[in-house]
Structure 1
Amino acid sequence: MSNPRGAGIASFVGTSIEWYDFYIYGTAAALVFGRLFFPEASPTAGVMASFATFWVGFLARPLGGVIFGHLGDRIGRKGTLVATLLLMGGATTLVGVLPTYASIGILAPILLATLRFVQGIAVGGEWGGAVLIAAEHAGPKRIFYAAFAQQGSPAGSILATGVFALVSLMPEDAFLSYGWRIPFLMSAVLVIVGLVIRLRVEESPEFVRMREKREVVKLPVAEVFRTSWPLVLLGIGASGVGIASAYFTNTFILSWATTDLGITKSTMLNVLLIVSVTQFVTQPIGAVLGQRMGAAKYMLIAFTALIVCTPVTFLMVGTGSPAWATVGLALSVVFSGSSYAALAGFLADAFPARVRYTGISLAYQLCGALIGGTTPMIAQALLSSTGTIWAVVGQYLVVILLTMGCVLALSRRSATRPAPAPVEV
């Protein structure tokens, strides 16, 4: 596969599998890990503890970005992406056979956190490479084709939520005993499918050109911090909504709705499944409009709309009605999802090709550690300490405003860089 569409499809399939693996952990953390791996804690403390192991994956993501960003900028995008897929699939499958606290005591949550750390390293290296393998095959249409990688997030969420919705229909004892393991064990099969497709993709033409001209950097991470550290800092902020929004909806709101609002877990999983389908269908709007009007301009428009609809979303979910929760979350995801589609190409354009893998990986994954992974923990702490969901609404609005400021600043810096050379396909 050397054409933009083929590279985009391969990118989409790979990221779908990786995000499925990453999201099923978040779903399990909200629904079951507190009881199985932290049984001696209170229900609220158990959820907080399981969210803490969830955050471990985000802490590992910058390390994965550095490791695989280095390899991707030194030896190529393709081989690096094969390695990340194998690493993620292996860690996820092992979670599916992990003994619980009742069997091995304190060793169970330690092993759980360790495997989550490995997941984080894998996804930390995956995202940047998947974006670039699509974008660098696309030439001037990189905003549109980079969004193929972004479609993997809602696709992975649909698959993860759908599988958990099915296993949650099992009797409670069966679900707690072995049902929750099924989504994790499925990863082994999905990885084989992903490898078959990913191995057919040719190397990025931009990387091939750099290698032929001997422009490959020996130590990409050092080069990034020497020449592009302002871009990394602004990229962290610009990724805020794209990363945090999923964990407000798929993790925190899932826990809030099932714990405090009286919505059953199977019903709420069905709600999130509908929302994920809505995101999958509407997210490409951001890719099309971002390509036409400019990624930054479209993202700022979408963020403005998101500011208006965020309080409405939480009000609708807070009614305790599954129907209103579906409407509210679907409304929000139209704007957060479409802005997420434009984010990949926007970040890829911000960094020079010689350190692009390392640069976008560091920006995106540091944002994951600092903003994304802390989102459900901070939201739960705010709700518990204040007793009102409006504190969480305020948290989300702060993230949106921060993201808007960084997108605007990064777009102004990127405008001073020359456009990438056209790629023959």
Structure 2
Amino acid sequence: MQHPPPVTHQPRRAAAAAFIGTAIEWYDFYIYATAAALVFGELFFPSTDPFISTMASFGTFAVGFFARPLGGVIFGHLGDKIGRKKALMTTLVMMGVATVGVGLMPTQLSTPWVAPALLIVLRIVQGISAGGEWGGAVLMAGEHAPAGRRMFYASFAQLGSPAGMLLSLLAFRAVTSLDHADFMAWGWRVPFLASALLLVVGIFIRISVGESPEFEREKQRQRTVKLPIAEVFRTARGLVLLCIGANTLGIAGVYFTNTFMISYTTQYFGVPRSLILDCLFVVAVIQFLVQPLAAYCAEKIGTARFLKLTALAAMTTPYPMFLLVQSGDRVSLIIGIALAVVCLASFYSVIAGFMTDVFPTHVRYSAISLSYHVCAAIAGGLTPLAATWLAHRFTGQWWPLALFFSGLAVLSLVCVVALDAMKSRRGITFEAVSTP
């Protein structure tokens, strides 16, 4: 009979599992985003006007975001009732199956109407899975953390985002080296089919991690509630709204720089697809290196102070970014996009741990999942669409896009300031108003 691993190993094991599991989940989510920017418009929504095809393609991309709050509610409930681990195993399998399904499906050219409908269904499954994944991964890492290290350990789940981006860019960079006909015929499918291998790796790793010790203690104390999401709505609607706003920069910003900028640079500045993917790969490496450093710095100077400073810095970055990007050369593209990504990635790495301190264990999965994924549905799903519309409406002018990005940072800053004030005034705010 095999014995469970020593308890002292569990914090590191949980952090590693959160990182690898979310990297796989976000790989699946990001390859869809990349394909939506590069090929889905032509394959599934062909039109004589590239703007119409791109908008339709980004529309299916947005559908996945609108499904994420549903996933957050479903798996938040399961995670708060039966455990974080079981919920996370289910979300991983769902995402892998849906992603492989996209790689196997026919295109609009062979099955008009059926293919776009199937694409939307599979995207909804992806969205539900992602909606359940994030909150559980953050909590499994954070709730296993040693005393006083919750924020840093929770940041490992956030680190899965740039890792997934790196994997997705590597996968698409490999297939974009094919000639156009082969890429459009079968090459784009390879990154989706490769998810089957990653799924096996993710399941193997997550099996080795025990259940959250904080959840187990709450279960023994019988502090679970019948319907966690109802408890959240009853006692913390205002806090949830502030958390939704606080997440805006980290969520919307990444889809602005890593999804919209692909179509923007290729359509308006004639940047080759391979070049922008190479540039985004370098930026993703920078993001991957910056996030753990940002989490460490936040522990030293205070999480709320760090979030405020990074949001303020992010407000200024889109202006030099667009001045550099419009040149179209490799170095300027990397520097310009990296300026914005360093700020939003630093913010993103810390915001998860900041939120987990707001809510108590017995409803925490439901509360943070709802907050994060409602924001994802609105800010993440609509950002590429809104930015695409602005680029089309103000052709040749980048300042409306820069103002739009600054507005995302302002919203997050205001909400972080409000949350910090409430926490300072009443301690862990939700605990102060929730039932014992």
TM-score (norm 1): 0.97
SS in 1 for 2:317: helix
Structure 2 residue identity aligned to 1:269: L
Identity, % of aligned pairs? 49
Q: Match for residue 122 of structure 1?
A: 129
Runs of 4+ aligned residues of structure 1 deviating over 6 Å after TM superposition are none
Whether contact under 8 Å (2:359, 2:428) holds in the other structure is no
Return the alpha-carbon distance in structure 1 between the equivalents of residues 196 and 48 of structure 2: 32
Q: Is 1:414 equivalent to 2:423 in the alignment?
A: yes
Return the alpha-carbon distance in structure 1 between the equivalents of residues 116 and 165 of structure 2: 24
Superposition deviation, residue 419 in structure 1:
9.9
2:387 paired residue among 379, 385, 398: 379
Q: Match for residue 97 of structure 2?
A: 90
Q: Match for residue 154 of structure 2?
A: 146
Return the alpha-carbon distance in structure 2 between the equivalents of residues 414 and 254 of structure 1: 39
1:213 paired residue among 198, 213, 221: 221
Return the alpha-carbon distance in structure 1 between the equivalents of residues 321 and 360 of structure 2: 39
Query: Where in structure 2 are the equivalents of 1:31-50 lying within 5 Å?
Result: 31-50=38-57
SS in 2 for 1:151: helix
Return the alpha-carbon distance in structure 1 between the equivalents of residues 179 and 308 of structure 2: 46
Task: Label 1:367 to 1:151 Cα distance change in 2 as closer, same or farther (>3 A).
Answer: same
Deviations 1:17-55 (A, max 9, x none): 000000000000000000000113521110010000000
Return the alpha-carbon distance in structure 2 between the equivalents of residues 303 and 345 of structure 1: 16
Query: Where in structure 2 are the equivalents of 1:25-36 lying within 5 Å?
Result: 25-36=32-43
Query: Where in structure 2 are the equivalents of 1:238-317 lying within 5 Å?
Result: 238-317=246-325
SS in 1 for 2:110: helix
Q: Is 1:330 equivalent to 2:338 in the alignment?
A: yes
Whether contact under 8 Å (1:349, 1:414) holds in the other structure is no
Query: Where in structure 2 are the equivalents of 1:164-179 lying within 5 Å?
Result: 164-179=172-187
Task: Label 1:419 to 1:403 Cα distance change in 2 as closer, same or farther (>3 A).
Answer: closer
Structure 1 residue identity aligned to 2:216: V
SS in 2 for 1:153: helix
Whether contact under 8 Å (2:423, 2:429) holds in the other structure is no
Structure 2 residue identity aligned to 1:5: R
Superposition deviation, residue 295 in structure 1:
1.4
Superposition deviation, residue 12 in structure 1:
0.2
Structure 2 residue identity aligned to 1:414: K
Q: How many residues align?
A: 421
Return the alpha-carbon distance in structure 2 between the equivalents of residues 183 and 294 of structure 1: 40
RMSD over equivalenced CA pairs, Å: 1.3
Segments of structure 1 that go 5 or more residues without pairing to the other structure are: none
Q: Match for residue 396 of structure 1?
A: 405
2:69 paired residue among 56, 62, 70: 62
Q: Match for residue 223 of structure 1?
A: 231
Return the alpha-carbon distance in structure 1 between the equivalents of residues 343 and 46 of structure 2: 38
Superposition deviation, residue 76 in structure 1:
0.6
Return the alpha-carbon distance in structure 1 between the equivalents of residues 40 and 203 of structure 2: 30
Return the alpha-carbon distance in structure 2 between the equivalents of residues 142 and 238 of structure 1: 19
Structure 2 residue identity aligned to 1:311: Y
Q: Is 1:132 equivalent to 2:142 in the alignment?
A: no
Segments of structure 2 that go 5 or more residues without pairing to the other structure are: 432-436
